[in-house]
Amino acid sequence: MSATAPHTATSSSPAALLAIALLVVAAVFAPGVRGGFLFDDFPNLVDNPALRALSWATLGAQWHEVLFSSQASDFARPLAMASFMLDRLLFDWHPLGWKLHSLLWHLLNTVLVALLARRWLALALPGRDHATAAVLLALAWATLPLQVSSVLYVVQRMELMAATAVLLGLLAYHRGREGLNAGDARGWAWLVGAGGIALAGVGAKESAALFFAYVLVAEATLYRFDTANPRDARWLRGMAIAGALGALALAIGLAPAYFSSEAYAVRDYGAAERLLSQPGALWHYVGWVLLPRESTMVFYYDDWPVAQTLAHPMGAVLPLLAGLVAASAALALRRSQPGLAAGVLFFLAGHLITSSYLPLEPVFEHRNYLPAFGLLFAAAALLRQTPPAAARALPWALGAWLLLSAGQALLRAGHWGSPVRLAELHAERAPGSPRACYDRALLYTVASGFDPTHPAFVAADRELARCAALPRGSLLPAQAGVILHSRGGTGQVGLWWQKLEAGVRDPMFPASATALTTLARCRLEQRCPIDDAPLQRVAERTAALRSAPSEVHRAMGDLHWRVFGDLDAAEAAYRRGINNEGQTEYASRFALLALLTEQCRVHEATELISTLAELDMPEGERQSVRMLEDEARHCTPHSAEHRNQGASVVPRL
């Protein structure tokens, strides 16, 4: 008997219902598209040099550089960057257009979720039409308050696009399985194509690779490896076993590297602590999906308590046991309740990457963008089997839940539409979050205009002091305090310099690295009237740090060269940056080349040019290298002495 049930006719109009659902989704998110860029939008998009330099005139020469300019991953995510490139060209830096673009992807995914839900419900509960249920499920998924941050947080379009690839792949896979169930060998072409779609989606974000885990879940629960030709079934089982064993071997093989201290050098916890914290995080995710409360979603979770042991208050004993029971029950019920089993296992499969030993932060909302479908699908499969005695009350209960959930999503989208209100809300709801605190302090800083007599200036200073005192904080508050009081011309700047100098120590986490590079850039670009003496002490303290990333050493090198006039210290900083860079990176090497050329050290410059020639660099950077090469070739000691005399006086920007 075929595992795929035929679709029965229906007198309703699923297309019209779906159109109404899309209008509802658009209306729910509409208040939020007026908001601004946020958090990781800045390093990945707004401050991305390749995107900033992009224009219609330079598109032909720069498109390749933009596609591979993402800092979010070693895989560069070129598909997602292509969409951001389009935004930059069409909307410049107006976030409204960027957010509307993301909303379009979400609407497309809503359609795909409805299509997939209808097909999978037909497998779990054959003989019935599920068109209306599928649309309502998609509407419930699309209007979860949890989804607001995934859609309106621009950089997470990466997640939206990866989900699109997964959903398209699953629909193509279903088409192929229908072919195999009918004895049509062309079904294999659809299966191969489905995998190709998913692999292409990795170009948006690596989470698209979870497609293969979702397929395994669907085969184990819904398709059951059942085909018209027994040989096809054997091939499917063999590939599933081989894929699962291969993934397990890969996970085991990579584990030693990720359990090392080097892998977690930018975190204040290790792989073991992160794994212990994930069962509790998963159950929080379940609550956010099935019992959505907008008030519990604060976006910033950098103060999330990381479990140190199983006995820790946030330890994994109870959440882990409850999770094992849920997973075991789902496996045991995969034949009698295939829809329930498929949904639960789909949710768990969706967290195989983000809840692993990888050095990621413990919690983020957008990790549930597609996995949330699994929990709602499990609930829908159960509710579709409601006894007749309770069937009359079911529509009212579901309507109330859907109205409550969508209403909270609308409320949350409204908050996201106002950057000021959003920052205030995050700080109020997450008083222990350094990021939320810093966001609010920046708002006050901007509002003050750096006028010490303005009430917002006092509020900014007070909030920065609170941020600096928070556990798991960074140098960002001290850096902002230095700039605030330097530009305001107050005598309190010395206190902030003391905080900043004391905070320059190992280990240096990403936020602190950002603080130092921002401070250096502000001085180099002559935007901040900063005292050079304490700044030089900070640069000297940084030289002793083993954990400072290459961009920090490079920024300190620029200060030593352009501001302090200490060329030896600048060279040492650039060489430390080179030591901390990967073999394929070139930024610190390029900075050192400029310094060597400035000093007419032709032989050393020529050797470094040979090294740079072997690296993959954008054409614009290659042209700069060629210019330096030409400059080195015509360099004379007299010109070098002349340039070096002016190096400490005239910043070269």
Structure tokens at 594: 């400029």
Residues 310/427, Cβ–Cβ less than 8 Å: no
- How confident is the model at residue 266, as a pLDDT? 78
pLDDT at 352 over 90: yes
- In whole angstroms, give the CA distance from residue 386 to residue 384: 6
The crossing angle, in degrees rounded to 10, of helices 619-633 and 587-598 is 20
- How confident is the model at residue 90, as a pLDDT? 96
pLDDT at 647 over 60: no
pLDDT band at residue 3, thresholds of 50, 70 and 90?
Answer: very low
- In whole angstroms, give the CA distance from residue 307 to residue 313: 7
The crossing angle, in degrees rounded to 10, of helices 317-332 and 338-349 is 140
For range 230-238, the mean pLDDT: 93
For range 129-155, the mean pLDDT: 96
Nearest alpha carbon to residue 558 among 571, 546, 540, 545: 571
Of the candidate ranges 276-290, 324-338, 380-394, 467-481, the one whose mean pLDDT is the lowest:
380-394
Of the candidate ranges 65-69, 138-142, 459-463, the one whose mean pLDDT is the lowest:
65-69
- Over the stretch 82-107, which tens digit does the pLDDT of each residue have? 999 999 999 999 999 999 999 999 99
CA 581-583-589 angle, to 5 degrees, is 60
Percent of the chain whose pLDDT exceeds 90: 67
pLDDT at 173 over 50: yes
Q: Would you tell me how many other CB atoms lie within 10 Å of the CB of residue 394?
A: 13
pLDDT at 645 over 80: no
- In whole angstroms, give the CA distance from residue 615 to residue 581: 13
For range 489-501, the mean pLDDT: 93
pLDDT band at residue 12, thresholds of 50, 70 and 90?
Answer: low
- In whole angstroms, give the CA distance from residue 413 to residue 246: 42
pLDDT at 510 over 90: no
pLDDT band at residue 643, thresholds of 50, 70 and 90?
Answer: very low
Tell me the CA distances in angstroms from 1 to 181, 224, 225, 227, 336, one per residue in order. 9, 12, 12, 9, 16
For range 206-226, the mean pLDDT: 96
- How confident is the model at residue 590, as a pLDDT? 87
Domain limits, the chain: 14-47+94-414, 431-580, 586-653
Question: Coil, strand or helix: which one is 162?
Answer: helix
- Over the stretch 257-299, which tens digit does the pLDDT of each residue have? 888 877 887 788 889 889 988 999 999 999 999 999 999 999 9
pLDDT at 7 over 70: no
Alpha-carbon Rg for the chain, nearest whole angstrom, is 28
Of the candidate ranges 381-385, 619-623, 627-631, the one whose mean pLDDT is the lowest:
619-623
Q: Would you tell me how many other CB atoms lie within 10 Å of the CB of residue 105?
A: 19
Percent of the chain whose pLDDT exceeds 70: 93
pLDDT at 651 over 60: no
Between 182 and 642, residue with greater pLDDT? 182
pLDDT band at residue 69, thresholds of 50, 70 and 90?
Answer: confident
pLDDT band at residue 312, thresholds of 50, 70 and 90?
Answer: low
Of the candidate ranges 90-104, 214-228, 413-427, 638-652, the one whose mean pLDDT is the lowest:
638-652
The residues, any chain, with a CB within 8 Å of residue 21's CB and separated by 6 or more, are 110, 114, 135, 136, 138, 139, 142
pLDDT at 238 over 90: yes
What letter does residue 120 receive in the DSSP assignment? Answer: H
pLDDT at 583 over 70: no
Computed over every residue of the chain, the mean pLDDT equals 89
- How confident is the model at residue 428, as a pLDDT? 94
Residues 223/123, Cβ–Cβ less than 8 Å: yes
- How confident is the model at residue 267, as a pLDDT? 83
Of the candidate ranges 32-46, 548-562, 637-651, the one whose mean pLDDT is the lowest:
637-651
Q: CA torsion, points 289, 34, 203, 239, in degrees to nearest 10?
A: 20
Nearest alpha carbon to residue 67 among 618, 469, 475, 624: 618
Residue 574 phi/psi, 5-degree rounding, is -60, -40
The residues, any chain, with a CB within 8 Å of residue 285's CB and separated by 6 or more, are 351, 367, 368, 371, 372
